[in-house]
Structure 1
């Protein structure tokens, strides 16, 4: 196979997008959510994996958290991987990492990336579905379950365990 044949083969393969986020909590178990200004709803700190630049999901989650809220957090375990189908776009592989329990000093040090975010707040588990719509809300609840059970990573499809 020539180099141009290989390049054509690679170009013909299906595409997926990848995103990575960090699940941070306070001492009461509330989840840190951010409010994007470029779309409706809330999210975890995180964003797109820049795979074309060789970035891994873990690196993306840490970079995006630093960019979005100004905190450089050492990430814990991978809590969830979610395959999210979409209309008008390729599927997204969404990774959620444990950002741990943040201290009061860390919360006080949060500085929002004003180009992308309007605000942040801590949200209790029972209010997650009010803030995080669709598969994202399910994904975060599943990730919280992983933390509570102390089990390994959960595999999800559109926010739910596979049938």
Structure 2
């Protein structure tokens, strides 16, 4: 196969987007959420993986966390992988990493990226659905279950466990 044939082959392959986020908690188990200024609702610290630049999902989650809330921390294990179908976009593969339990000092050090975020807050598990509707909320609850149960990474499709 020539270089041109290979490039044509690659250009014709299906596309998928990749996103990565971190799940941070406090000592009471509440989840750190951020409020974007570019859309309604809440989210986790994270965003698009810059794969064209060679970034991995783990690197993307760490970079986005440092950019969005000013915390540059080594992330823990992969908690969930979610394949999310899109109506007006290619599918998204969402990676969710354990950000760990933050200290009082960590919370005091949070500095939100004002270009993208309005605020942050801690939300109890039972209140997550009110802040994170749809597959993101389901993904976060599945990841919390992984932490509580001590099980391995969970595979999801549109926030629902596979199998």
TM-score range, shorter chain: over 0.9
User: TM-score normalized by structure 1?
Assistant: 0.99
Paired residue secondary structure (1:94): strand
State the 1:162 CA deviation.
Answer: 1.9
Q: Does 1:125 align with 2:125?
A: yes
Paired residue secondary structure (1:98): strand
RMSD across aligned C-alpha pairs, in angstroms? 0.5
Who is 1:28 aligned against? 28
Paired residue secondary structure (1:34): strand
State the 1:74 CA deviation.
Answer: 1.0
State the 1:133 CA deviation.
Answer: 1.3
Who is 2:144 aligned against? 144
Number of equivalent positions: 163
User: TM-score normalized by structure 2?
Assistant: 0.99
Give CA deviations for 1:46-97 in whole Å, capped at 9, x if unaligned. Answer: 0000000000000000000000000011100000000000101000000000
**Runs of 4+ residues deviating >4 angstroms:** none
Who is 1:101 aligned against? 101
